[in-house]
Amino acid sequence: MIARHYRPAAPLSGFVDLFWYYSGFVRPHAKERLLPTGTIELVINLREDEVRTYDPDRTDICHRFPGSVVVGAHSRFFVLDTSEQNDVIGIHFKPGGAFPFLAPPADAFRDAHVGLDAIWGAGAAELRERLLEAPTPEAKFALLESTLLSRISHYPEQHAAVAHALQCLDRAPHLHTISALTERIGISPKRFIQLFTQQVGLTPKLYCRVQRFQRVLQAVQQSRRVDWADIAAACGYYDQAHFIRDFQAFSGLNPSTYLCARGEYLNHVPMQANHLPMRD
């Protein structure tokens, strides 16, 4: 099995969290939930020229995409095919970091998978072919890096108001209001929400909710027994009912079920038969 990560240098470090590559991973389960992170991902399946996802509410319904896809910022979990993790490479963009490389506004990809060919044209297929020919993970990362560098000059930089807001929200998503942020930034709330949504892919309010949910997952990742009331309060939920509603909205599971079902990797939850959504 191969698992490699690579963090690019500037200027890409301002947009990209990391490049990742996995090969030879075999899962005992056929499907798993991928929980929302508030970020955008570029995923390229090197095993076959196809990416498959499944409807969260009807996992017998399969959605097929080209082997190179942009995974938009999601507001709930989606279901992926674990066999595609056998040989796959991707780019994990920082919040708001993907839009300079994608022609439409980032919110055009919300809750969606979009074939990279719809954005980059023939360049998407060419990139995948060159990645297949690259002999090592390091060579593949170098190719991804040069590809992004060749495109970074074509699109505008992240708006200063959005960059400042992301810094504040990532430190403490539950402690900042839109009115307080816009007062400090010096633009109207309407303009701020428009800019943030176009560049990040989610509205500021929804992005904050996702980040608060992510704080919960990180807090319990290594724990076997959890005091959910303490976790909810520490992460900024105003009561237990509020916490449970948000947790179920994003994961499709209640907190206790998640604790039993979670997998080895953060945000990847194996789907067993007793955890599948009910059919009508």
Label residue 54 by pLDDT band (50, 70, 90).
very high
Q: Are residues 8 and 122 in the same domain?
A: yes
- Between 9-13, 180-184, 239-243, 267-271, the lowest mean confidence (pLDDT) is in 180-184
Q: Does the residue 277 lie in any domain?
A: no
Q: Does the residue 268 lie in any domain?
A: no
Has residue 276 got a pLDDT over 50? no
Q: Transcribe the chain into DSSP letters.
A: -EEEEE---TTGGGTEEEEEEEES---SSSEEEE---S--EEEEESSSSEEEEE-SS-TT-EEEEESEEEE---SS-EEEEGGGGGEEEEEEEPTT-SGGGSSS-GGGGTT-EEETHHHHTHHHHHHHHHHHH--SHHHHHHHHHHHHHHHGGGSPPPPHHHHHHHHHHHH-TTS--HHHHHHHHTS-HHHHHHHHHHHHSS-HHHHHHHHHHHHHHHHHTT-SS--HHHHHHHTT-SSHHHHHHHHHHHHSS-HHHHHHH--SSTTEEE--GGGSPPP-
Q: Does the residue 272 lie in any domain?
A: no
pLDDT digits (tens, 9 = 90+) for 119-155: 999 999 999 999 999 999 999 999 999 999 998 866 6
pLDDT digits (tens, 9 = 90+) for 60-105: 999 999 999 999 999 999 999 998 888 999 999 999 999 889 877 9
Q: Are residues 246 and 197 in the same domain?
A: yes
Q: Does the residue 265 lie in any domain?
A: no
Q: Does the residue 274 lie in any domain?
A: no
Q: Are residues 169 and 147 in the same domain?
A: no
How far from the centroid of its chain's Cα atoms is residue 156's Cα?
22
> Position 262: which residue type?
R
Q: Are residues 138 and 191 in the same domain?
A: no
Residue at a domain's end among 154, 177, 212: 154
Q: Does the residue 53 lie in any domain?
A: yes
Yes or no: say if 233 and 219 are a contact pair by the CB < 8 Å rule. Answer: no
How far from the centroid of its chain's Cα atoms is residue 46's Cα?
20
Q: Which domain holds residue 237?
A: 160-260
Sheet holding 68-71, edge to edge: 2-6, 16-23, 87-93, 41-45, 68-71, 113-115
Q: Does the residue 269 lie in any domain?
A: no
Q: Are residues 178 and 196 in the same domain?
A: yes
Q: Are residues 13 and 147 in the same domain?
A: yes
Q: Are residues 68 and 133 in the same domain?
A: yes
Q: Are residues 63 and 14 in the same domain?
A: yes
What is the total count of domains within the chain?
A: 2
Q: What CATH number does residue 198 fall under?
A: 1.10.10.60
Mean pLDDT value across the chain: 91
Global pTM value: 0.91
Q: Are residues 95 and 168 in the same domain?
A: no
Q: Are residues 126 and 167 in the same domain?
A: no
Q: What CATH number does residue 63 fall under?
A: 2.60.120
Q: Does the residue 29 lie in any domain?
A: yes
Q: Are residues 9 and 147 in the same domain?
A: yes
> Position 97: which residue type?
G
Q: Are residues 225 and 143 in the same domain?
A: no
Yes or no: say if 75 and 27 are a contact pair by the CB < 8 Å rule. Answer: no
Residue at a domain's end among 154, 187, 219: 154
Label residue 174 by pLDDT band (50, 70, 90).
low
